[in-house]
Amino acid sequence: MVGIRARGDLLAARLHEAIRANEHVDLPLGSLDITLYRDDLTRVGNAPIVRESVIPFSVDDRVVVLVDDVLFTGRTIRAAMDALVDYGRPRAIRLAVLVDRGHRELPIRADFVGKNVPTAATDDVRVQLVETGGRDEVELVPAAVPA
């Protein structure tokens, strides 16, 4: 199981713990920072902060489940898959997300979805977690309507 930073890694850790408690299976757990693989690096204002990825196991011939908070355009997942294959050749890559809000720009879909949430492309979906100092909540913020 590999969580995408930041937040996907926290959700992956929770899933990892739940699987250990319920199934008594200790899955290898990693976290991935995809900043260096973003396709919009040359379009953002300043260089985004790069954090360390931690993949403390070989991904070769394994089924790797990527975990993220919100699935939107699919570009983050594309970057994560590119990053992951630099570590080896997984047998398969699956995708688990907390929220799928639609509006894909790439041919990507999730294998495991917490909740499908219909949104407008301009809406904002904000995920907060206890680990980041908030409480567990997903907030759908509609785009400001011009008066």
- Smaller CB distance to other proteins: residue 2 or 125? 2
The b/e string for 7-39 (b: 16+ C-beta within 10 A; e otherwise) is bbbbbbbbbbeeeeeeeeeeeebbbbbbbebbe
Please enumerate, as own/partner, the contacts of 112-117 that have beta carbons within 8 Å and a separation of 24 or more: 112/65, 113/71
Residue 5 or 16: the one with the smaller Cβ distance to other proteins is 5
Burial environment of residue 104 by CB neighbours within 10 A (0 to 12, 13 to 18, 19 or more): middle
The nearer residue to other proteins, 31 or 119, going by C-beta atoms, is 31
Q: How many CB atoms lie within 10 A of CB 133?
A: 7
Q: With respect to other proteins, which residue has the nearer C-beta, 49 or 144?
A: 49
Q: How far is the CB of 50 from other proteins (least distance, A)?
A: 4
Q: Give the binding site for other proteins (CB under 8 A).
A: 33, 35-38, 41-54, 82-83, 85-88
Minimum distance of other proteins from residue 89's CB (angstroms): 10
Kindly state the smallest distance separating residue 41's Cβ from other proteins, in Å.
5
Minimum gap (Å) between residue 52 Cβ and other proteins: 5
DSSP 25-37: -----EEE--GGG
